[in-house]
Amino acid sequence: MNKKFVFAFLIAFNLSACASLRSVSLTSIPADRKKQVEARASRIIIFGLNFDNDYVERLVDDLKYQCPSGKVAGVLTKDEVIDYFLMIVHKRQVTAKGFCVDQDKT
């Protein structure tokens, strides 16, 4: 019984993730906040080996795709680290949220 409990505890401990916030930025928020758009880019990093940060660059294209004829304003950019498995594996995640505003209302 005790062994099973310890095993389950270890599994739960290792699979659970701790998130920490690295940076946040926010641009001017528009009056028209009806349509929200969101894009997310992430990368799993093992043993801290990361060779480039190019995954971040597609966020703008994702936001543009969701708002094809307007302006994305009030952009909140959140950069966070999520630690897995004794911090040997972690995920770097950048989230960008904003409001799609019609061309005339900008």
How far is the CA of 97 from the CAs of 40, 43, 57, 59, 82, in angstroms? 9, 18, 15, 10, 19
Which of 14, 27 has the CB closer to another protein? 27
**Chain residues 19-38 in contact with another protein, contact rule CB under 8 A:** 22-23, 25, 27-28
Smallest distance, Å, CB 86 to another protein?
Answer: 19
Centre a 10 Å sphere on the Cβ of residue 15 and count the other Cβ atoms it contains: 9
Which of 79, 84 has the CB closer to another protein? 79
Q: Which window, 1-9, 12-20, 44-52, 83-91, contacts another protein (CB under 8 A)?
A: 44-52
- Please state, in angstroms and rounded to a whole number, the distance separating the CA atoms of residues 97 and 55: 17
Smallest distance, Å, CB 97 to another protein?
Answer: 10
Which of 22, 33 has the CB closer to another protein? 22
- Please state, in angstroms and rounded to a whole number, the distance separating the CA atoms of residues 1 and 106: 64
93 binds another protein, rule: CB under 8 A: no
Q: Are 81 and 20 a contacting pair, CB within 8 Å?
A: yes
